[in-house]
Amino acid sequence: MGQSQLKLFMKEYNEQLQNELKNYISTLNAPEILKSAMDYSLQAGGKRIRPILLFATLQAFHQDPKKGLETALALEMIHTYSLIHDDLPSMDDDDLRRGKPTNHKVFGEGYAILAGDALLTYAFQIIAQTPHYEDHLKVKLIEWLAKGAGPEGMVGGQVADIEGETKNLTLEELQNVHKNKTGKLLAYGILAGAMIAEATAQQLEILQQFASHLGIAFQIKDDILDVEGDEAKIGKKVGSDSAKDKSTYPSLLSLDGAKEKLQYHIQEATKALNKTGLETDLLQEMVTLIATRES
Amino acid sequence: MGQSQLKLFMKEYNEQLQNELKNYISTLNAPEILKSAMDYSLQAGGKRIRPILLFATLQAFHQDPKKGLETALALEMIHTYSLIHDDLPSMDDDDLRRGKPTNHKVFGEGYAILAGDALLTYAFQIIAQTPHYEDHLKVKLIEWLAKGAGPEGMVGGQVADIEGETKNLTLEELQNVHKNKTGKLLAYGILAGAMIAEATAQQLEILQQFASHLGIAFQIKDDILDVEGDEAKIGKKVGSDSAKDKSTYPSLLSLDGAKEKLQYHIQEATKALNKTGLETDLLQEMVTLIATRES
């Protein structure tokens, strides 16, 4: 019953998001090959966890999820650009992403880099241009997005992750890498939704705690899937972390230890949610989805 | 006399810009290697034409050029990111930039891509965060910057430029490539300065014409330098365009034809300037500088 509520919600908003992503690219006054490269990776989208967190947070505030549309588009574009650049030969050198050839395999490295650059830049343009937000809200949304995605967020985390490949990280260092690499942009979905809904400072603080536990849980689950996931479902090879001797939650804590830690953060995320006083059914189901996903 | 006024102005504001670029990177809470890679290319800066256009435009409105500082930082960061990505092996594959090894030659391709991504993202963060602008101005500055730098601006122009390498372009197509690839970000310096100075719609329109002619003149001069420039002064090989059989102003118009066209756009730029009713001495000297530069 609960699960199907989220399923319906995801189906509805993912479809809208998918259509709007297509619209926003197709109306661009830009070379067709660039638009194709941008569109290719946007349409290869997975579960759209970040935008759905944003929509579900608005729902929790009894606000129309559509109020988050432009921000969700921007967020998904930035997430997608990061995947395109991460997959490049000079980075992770991946040929497949979600079971499909990676962007540079289809369009070549040069265009893949430029498609990523274009998605990143366009994300800020979309928020700045929308007629649906007040200027003050736009500025906050852009500021937080840049912080979450830039050198103090995702890009910084990606660099720390590359550096960490040749070191044995402590648990704290590992957590710090992931807080920046994936945590801040996941959290952005929740916090942007809260800002659009005009959350109080106290609500923002509790949601920040929620987002922090959710982000750690997300990464632990990712690491577990790399050990015991199903390649067909993940759409890429498993065991790539241990092949690289990379520090992960299972390598530092053992697989069972990682699973225990996952449970701990799931519980803490739920506790935080319960303190918000909001209608959190969908967000709670998102927690479960993230903890039990198979890809 | 005139020339020395611009020289003094450039010396003063380039020094401030250089220092602030350093400060803004050094205070980042990010991995040292990322900060070094960002800083390396920022400090390898040339004449800083874009920020100087911004400062000089503020001066033309009798405003303190320092009001443009954060926007100038953002603009120079975006220009610098574009050079880092353009130099990559999968793009222009350049080993030298302004006589120094290119970013990927020093830091490796992966970090060079990430340093570029970080500079691009940080640029928007800086404008969003400054306490010196009203929200309405921030939104406009961000919107125009993203438009000038993204798929409808610089990145789109870069893609069109790559596509154009294998075609014979008409003069109109060539002009269109450059309008996006370099013109819009050059124009941004002027238009951002005007927006910060609260220019009227009419002033903005005239300055837009000025910027358009200046941008074309800039590119024609670039193409001429690639034919008859001094390698030691340019800091890279000349003749790279003709080696690639690339459409350029000299290849389409002959060298003399290109020089004539340069003069035409210089005159039109000057005419537009004279219509603004502003104190345009510095901007006029910038026109001369751009038309007569040796690198």
Alpha-carbon span A39 to A125, nearest angstrom: 17
Q: Tokens in use for B265? A: 């756009």
pLDDT at B245: 78
Of A33, A110, A147, the CB nearest to B125: A147
- Diameter over CA atoms, chain A: 52
Alpha-carbon span A71 to A75, nearest angstrom: 6
DSSP state for residue B63 in the 8-state scheme: -
Structural contact between residues B190 and B204, judged by C-beta atoms closer than 8 angstroms: no
Tally A–B CB contacts below 8 A: 151
pLDDT digits (tens, 9 = 90+) for A9-52: 999 999 999 999 999 999 999 999 999 999 999 999 788 999 99
> Is the CB of A163 less than 8 angstroms away from the CB of B33?
yes
pLDDT at A236: 66
Mutation choice for A interface testing from B27, B73, B90 by most A CBs within 10 A: B90
Chain A stretch 19-78, residues whose beta carbon is closer than 8 A to a beta carbon of chain B: 28-31, 33-35, 38
Identify the helix (H) or strand (E) that includes residue B96. Answer: strand B96-97
What is the residue-wise DSSP string for B161-182?
A: HHHHTTS---HHHHHHHHIIII
| Per-residue 3-state assignment (H helix, E strand, C coil) for chain A | CHHHHHHHHHHHHHHHHHHHHHHHHHCCCCCHHHHHHHHHHHHCCCCCHHHHHHHHHHHHCCCCHHHHHHHHHHHHHHHHHHHHHHCCCCCCCCCEECCEECHHHHHCHHHHHHHHHHHHHHHHHHHHHCCCCCHHHHHHHHHHHHHHHCCCCHHHHHHHHHHHCCCCCCHHHHHHHHHHHHHHHHHHHHHHHHHHCCCCHHHHHHHHHHHHHHHHHHHHHHHHHHHHCCHHHHCCCCCHHHHCCCCCHHHHHHHHHHHHHHHHHHHHHHHHHHHCCCCCHHHHHHHHHHHHCCC
Alpha-carbon span B249 to A127, nearest angstrom: 37
Alpha-carbon span A218 to A113, nearest angstrom: 27
> Is the CB of B29 less than 8 angstroms away from the CB of A143?
no
Contacts of B51 (CB under 8 A, 6+ apart): B13, B14, B17, B68, B72, B73, B75, B76, B189
> Is the CB of B150 less than 8 angstroms away from the CB of A121?
yes
Structural contact between residues B274 and B208, judged by C-beta atoms closer than 8 angstroms: no
Alpha-carbon span B35 to A164, nearest angstrom: 17
| Residues in B touching A129 (Cβ below 8 Å) | 143
Burial class (CB in 10 A: 0-12, 13-18, 19+), B37: buried
pLDDT at A2: 47
DSSP state for residue B100 in the 8-state scheme: E
- Amino acid at the residue B129: Q
| Residues in B touching A142 (Cβ below 8 Å) | 124, 128, 142
Of A81, A91, A110, the CB nearest to B162: A110
- A159 touches B at CB < 8 Å: yes
| Residues in B touching A38 (Cβ below 8 Å) | 151
Structural contact between residues A125 and B147, judged by C-beta atoms closer than 8 angstroms: yes
| Residues in B touching A35 (Cβ below 8 Å) | 151
A126 has pLDDT over 70: yes
pLDDT digits (tens, 9 = 90+) for A47-91: 899 999 999 999 999 999 999 999 999 999 999 999 999 999 999
Q: Which residues, in sequence order, are bridge partners of residue A97? A: A100
Give the phi and the psi of residue B230 in degrees, each rounded to 5.
Answer: -100, 115
A147 has pLDDT over 90: yes
Mutation choice for B interface testing from A35, A114, A130 by most B CBs within 10 A: A114
**Could you tell me the CA-to-CA distances from A205 to A147, A189, A266, A275, B123 in Å, in that order?**
17, 14, 18, 11, 27
> Is the CB of B125 less than 8 angstroms away from the CB of A143?
yes
A233 has pLDDT over 50: yes
Q: Which residues, in sequence order, are bridge partners of residue B96? A: B101
Q: Sketch out chain B's domains with CATH numbers.
A: 2-292 (1.10.600.10)
Closest of A19, A176, A134, A117 to residue B114, by C-alpha: A117
pLDDT at A34: 98
When pLDDT is averaged across residues A262-273 and rounded to a whole number, the result is 97
> CB count, 10 Å around CB of B261?
19
> CB count, 10 Å around CB of B151?
28
A207 has pLDDT over 60: yes
> Is the CB of A139 less than 8 angstroms away from the CB of B135?
yes
- A4 touches B at CB < 8 Å: no
pLDDT at A238: 73
When pLDDT is averaged across residues A187-210 and rounded to a whole number, the result is 97
Alpha-carbon span A154 to A152, nearest angstrom: 7
Q: Tokens in use for B81? A: 């990111």
When pLDDT is averaged across residues A277-287 and rounded to a whole number, the result is 95
**Could you tell me the CA-to-CA distances from A72 to A13, A20, A196, B207, B281 in Å, in that order?**
10, 10, 11, 35, 46
pLDDT band at A144 (very low <50, low <70, confident <90, very high): very high
Q: Mean pLDDT, chain A, as a whole number?
A: 94
- A147 touches B at CB < 8 Å: yes
Alpha-carbon span A55 to A9, nearest angstrom: 9
Alpha-carbon span B295 to B290, nearest angstrom: 9
Query: One digit per residue, pLDDT tens: chain B, 295 residues?
Result: 445 799 999 999 999 999 999 999 999 999 999 999 999 999 997 889 999 999 999 999 999 999 999 999 999 999 999 999 999 999 999 999 988 999 999 999 999 999 999 999 999 999 999 999 999 999 999 999 999 999 999 999 999 999 998 888 999 999 999 999 999 999 999 999 999 999 999 999 999 999 999 999 999 999 999 998 777 776 667 777 776 778 999 999 999 999 999 999 999 999 999 999 999 999 999 999 999 988 8
| Residues in B touching A135 (Cβ below 8 Å) | 135-136, 138-139
- A277 touches B at CB < 8 Å: no
pLDDT at A42: 97
